Amino acid sequence: MEKFDINKIRNDFPILKREVNGKPLVYLDNGATTQKPKFVIDAITNYYEEMNSNVHRGVHYLSQLSTDAFEVTRRKVQQFINAKEEAEIIITKGTTESINLVASCFGKAFVHEGDEIIISAMEHHSNIVPWQMLCEDRGAVLRVIPMNDKGELDMKAYEELLSDKTKIVAVAYVSNALGTINPVKQIIEMAHARNVPVLVDAAQAIQHIAIDVQELDVDFLAFSGHKMYAPTGVGVLYGKRVLLDAMPPYQGGGDMIKDVTFEKTTYNELPFKFEAGTPNIEAGICFAAAIDYINSLGIENIKAHEDELLAYATQKLKAIAGVRIIGEAEYKSSVISFVVDGVHPYDIGVILDKLGIAVRTGHHCAQPVMDRFNIPGTVRASLALYNTKEDIDNFVAGLTRALNMLL
Ligand SMILES: *Cc1c(COP(=O)(O)O)cnc(C)c1O
């Protein structure tokens, strides 16, 4: 792993050099958003200094530069997830918009009264609410795959939920609240046995696990740039062409049309049919730099590094009296959620912040997960490629100090 020089990597991220409350920053809130390498920050400056102009519109030089750069991102995303064609990569605002797009457009095309949609008990709100809205609109029914006490999906219950009424299955690849890696390949195979398509929410997987959409045979894949070292405001919806072609457009406006008259409008082809209006051009273009950065390190190397840290942190946390880890699935990635009986997660978060340590506390946009475990929320430490054992040691020392004050 000579490629993975952690000191050099940390140097790539300017913000990691700053102090917070007089202490060196220990950033363990990567599940919420990741920091950006200088390489991406420079790409942003370069965009505004060298090519700022609208995409897919102008004949002029700068517009062609920015259009080409925007389309480079699409190609890099296609290669990164091994999609069959560029047209299957829809550039969105993020995971939330990607899922809403599918719920809305797939819903209009395929979901009717009495149909069923299956999600899981460990979904982020953005993979729950759009489906609830669709169900309400269509008179369809939402079914939920339950999970066990370790935070693993009950695959037998899933098998029983699948039926001729099922129109789509939507599940997280990795739970943002528990860290569970779900058996998505098996989930997809079981759905396909009944000709049911599957959407995978890969917001917490894409930055940690190599994903090959053709190998998975997934029908829709959604993820956000900002959790994979790119700027905020850009994300991806991958969809199989047959499905995207069969779906009506999401929003109406510029770019998504072929011809407009007051009598009738014809729609543009993929991917533009789903990309109405001026996108976040800056983020869209600089997303490519983030993918280059990940590729320069190698997703497998990133995974190995993070898995090692996860095991180290888990073992250290378990040694602290009173700490109870929420989510002890056999297969986990980069997220450790925990509670300490008798202490509110928020109070731990506040003390850690005073020590320069950034974690998230609360329900992590996954309130049903908290209800499942009968807790108001957790403290969540989530890892990225630039974290170190020293970060974990500082975090554990900070937590020990916080508990001494609170207990
Ligand atoms: C962050 C997250 C989302 C939502 O992503 P946005 O970037 O806020 O749109 C959805 N699902 C999971 C699992 C997430 O972690």
Mutate to test the pocket of ligand 1, among 365, 382, 383 (most ligand atoms within 8 A of CB): 365
Q: Which amino acid is at 269?
A: E
CA of 105 to the centre of ligand 1 (A): 20
CA of 30 to the centre of ligand 1 (A): 12
The three-class DSSP label of residue 39 is helix
Q: Is the CB of 95 under 6 A from ligand 1?
A: yes
CA of 329 to the centre of ligand 1 (A): 20
Q: Active-site residue among 105, 135, 286, 365?
A: 365
Q: Is the CB of 94 under 6 A from ligand 1?
A: yes
Question: Which residue in 93, 27, 109 sits closest to 352, CA to CA?
Answer: 27
Closest residue by Cα to atom 12, ligand 1, is 203
b/e sequence 316-342, b meaning 16+ C-beta within 10 Å: bbeeeeebebbbbbeebbbbbbbbbee
Alpha-carbon distance of 201 to 172, in angstroms, equals 4
Q: Residues 244, 89: contact at Cβ < 8 Å?
A: no
Give the number of residues written for the chain. 407
Average pLDDT over residues 186-215: 98
CATH numbers and ranges of domains, the chain: 6-30+298-406 (3.90.1150.10), 42-295 (3.40.640.10)
Question: Which residue in 91, 133, 78, 129 sits closest to 291, CA to CA?
Answer: 78
Q: What is the pLDDT of residues 96-113, one digit of tens each?
A: 999 999 999 999 999 999
Q: What is the pLDDT of residues 341-363, one digit of tens each?
A: 999 999 999 999 999 999 999 99
Q: Enter the pTM of the model.
A: 0.98
CA of 260 to the centre of ligand 1 (A): 35
Tokens describing residue 402: 């916080």
Question: Which pLDDT belongs to residue 58?
Answer: 80
- The neighbouring-strand residues paired with 378 are 362
Q: Residues 332, 179: contact at Cβ < 8 Å?
A: yes
Question: Which pLDDT belongs to residue 134?
Answer: 98
Alpha-carbon distance of 244 to 266, in angstroms, equals 16
- State what percent of residues in the chain have pLDDT above 90: 96
Question: Which residue in 36, 68, 37, 62 sits closest to 48, CA to CA?
Answer: 62
Catalytic residue at 105? no
